[in-house]
Amino acid sequence: MPQRVILDVDTGTDDAVALMVAALSPDLELVGATTVNGNTLVHFCTENTLRVFDYIGKQIPVFEGMSMPLSRPDFVRDVASAIHGDLLDLPPATSKKQPQHAVDWLIDTYMASDGDIILVPVGPLTNIAAAIRKEPRIVEKIPEIVIMGGAHEHGNCTPSAEFNIWADPEAARIVVNCGRPIRMIPLDATHRALIDHADCARFRELGSPAAIATAVVVERRISGYDATQPMHRLGAAPVHDALAVCAILDPSVVTTHFIHVDVEVRGELTDGRTVCDFKGRGKGKPNVHFATDADEPKFVRMLSDILGRTA
């Protein structure tokens, strides 16, 4: 049986690839997608998510969620917009979002489930924390949370913090301390699995809508990264969120360490940092399988195999 998953997204270019991987993999059943403010305003995230599903011919329900962080009304997203823009370079959506709010749908879906739906938040964790606050019993119904977010070696929007965690650190702290099994796919791993122009050319050659769409959005990412956050080789960019989905399909695509992780919410210079205790210097017990490396060739092969499929 395919593994059931829910993606919580702030689509976004790398979210778009993650959605397509989850929707097209024969080993996953994408139950639905929830959107949250992050890479762009939440209504743009919703429109982009609908555009992705329409373009690849998948009818998957989309629920719009939180438009602001839990407790930070001064949130800004300038770092993200430099990479993603507001709307994806795909045709406007004809499908519509579902009327139910994402937080309520998450609660209803998990409370009615058999505890078999992996939750995959790849944006700020506002929806997830809000759902836990509103109905704490959902925690026991979530078998695993696979988060794209965090960083140990360096941040990408501050020297210390990765964007998804920095965008709502209070929410992230609630989620990482919720007591459920957690895998975190941070920048430490995603920056070791880059997609370059040659990979995009091969995606185009596959000819499927998903592969073509991936080439389009990743080429935008490469331009943005070369201009604002150059990687260890120019002409290549990470596709963070897709790596998180691939790690569900094949855990060996990343290397993880089971450590204690918490989130800084009051640091003058380190707000939103994921504090990783690799050496056991703190008092916290291990709570997160934290990825520190990734297998780039395997990641690219997985994308090619899945994205070459049609609906």
Any idea which residues carry the catalytic annotation? 10
d(CA 116, CA 233): 40
Which residue reads 């995959």 in tokens?
120
How many Cα atoms sit within 13 Å of 164 on the Cβ side?
29
- Residue whose structure tokens are 């998510």: 49
For the CA atoms of 156, 296, 5, 98, the dihedral, rounded to the nearest 10 degrees, stands at 60
Record the tokens describing residue 117, joined without a space: 């739906």
What is the number of alpha carbons within 13 Å of residue 147 lying toward its C-beta? Answer: 34
**CB neighbour list of residue 76: distance below 8 Å, 6 or more residues apart:** none
CA 234/CA 227 separation, integer angstroms: 10
Residue 96: alpha-carbon gap to chain centroid? 22
Structure tokens at 8: 């919580």
Q: Please state whether the peptide bond connecting residue 224 to the residue before it is cis, i.e. omega within 30 degrees of 0.
A: no
